[in-house]
Structure 1
């Protein structure tokens, strides 16, 4: 008898998450991308939304045209480097593990991009990437090198969520891609209340 695959738990939306969507919808009206009737309908859904999955479709078709931006460069060096918390995701990220390693945590980010290019070089310290449930990571273009790639993500993509396209090499430190661990998930849920 085979076990049922576990379904990702939908992350609860905070007041700040709902307010961010409302602000984006208001900007879309100001830019002429949606009219007032559509704004009213979307606001009603946004204010009643309980999860990120309910909020995502409301702005998925409103991606603004952004000027090209410099890639985010993360170097592990000796002490390591961590990018976590609330931050805006650029189109390109380059992560070099160095000796101390690099951790990129996408679980609380603001991301309206369809694709995020992440170039990795595990070097000696390795690179760890944490993505929310519903985000998909394409690892086909990563060279496993000595330490290899550990992809612990699911292939279930939520509408409106970005695709993380990983390229580069795992080096001696390796590259790990994963969703939140149980303890991290509980901590995030407590913080969002």
Structure 2
């Protein structure tokens, strides 16, 4: 009989994590999604929370209902295509690498969707997807094609972060999923100050 695997260690919540949950709860109360008594009770738990697991249930039922956005279509063509900066994330994205490739950067977006579906076709130029730390990317439904899929994201999903579900094929150019590189992280930190 093999020994049981160790249970995962709960991720500790930072002050910034607690403040983000508090802000979301206050917004929900202002919108009338929770009343003041419930706000008070949830704020008390949020401020005392030590882990992400304690914070997650406080906002799990509060995601606003947004009108569906049309699918975003990105075609790399000869010159390539980049979707970056502060853009509204739709529920569905279709990315075709073409010759120049496609890059989708989620590091500066505010995404309140639970799931974002991305259909990829790496073609010759490939598709690169950059996600913030704490976002999880499902890659099981992507056919490897000739170049294959490279998943360079860190494990572990943060509460309230979306799940990126990839489908499609890597083609000749491949598909890469990654977190920001060191230089990109420094630039993001400077922008947030």
* 1:123 Cα offset (Å): 0.7
Alignment RMSD, CA only? Answer: 3.0
Tell me the residue number matched to 1:61: 61
Tell me the residue number matched to 2:144: 144
The normalised TM-score by structure 2 is 0.77
> 5+ unaligned residues in a row in structure 1: which ranges?
1-7
Q: 1:35-76 CA distances to partner (integer Å, 9 max, x unpaired)?
A: 124446777999x9xxxx7xx856443112233331111111
Tell me the residue number matched to 2:134: 134
- How far, CA to CA, are the matches of 1:61 and 1:190 in structure 2? 33
Moved more, 68-77 or 29-38: 29-38
* 1:108 Cα offset (Å): 1.2
The normalised TM-score by structure 1 is 0.77
- How far, CA to CA, are the matches of 2:98 and 2:137 in structure 1? 23
Q: 1:137-179 CA distances to partner (integer Å, 9 max, x unpaired)?
A: 1000001101111111122111111110000001111100000
Tell me the residue number matched to 1:72: 72
The question of whether the paired residues in 2 share the 8 Å contact of 1:60 and 1:112 is answered with no
1:92-131 pair list within 5 angstroms:
92-131=92-131
* 1:31 Cα offset (Å): 4.3
- How far, CA to CA, are the matches of 1:42 and 1:77 in structure 2? 49
* 1:86 Cα offset (Å): 1.1
Q: 1:57-112 CA distances to partner (integer Å, 9 max, x unpaired)?
A: 56443112233331111111111111111122111111011111100001111111
Name which one, 1 or 2, has greater alpha-carbon Rg.
2
The question of whether the paired residues in 1 share the 8 Å contact of 2:68 and 2:90 is answered with no
> 5+ unaligned residues in a row in structure 2: which ranges?
1-10
Tell me the residue number matched to 2:162: 162
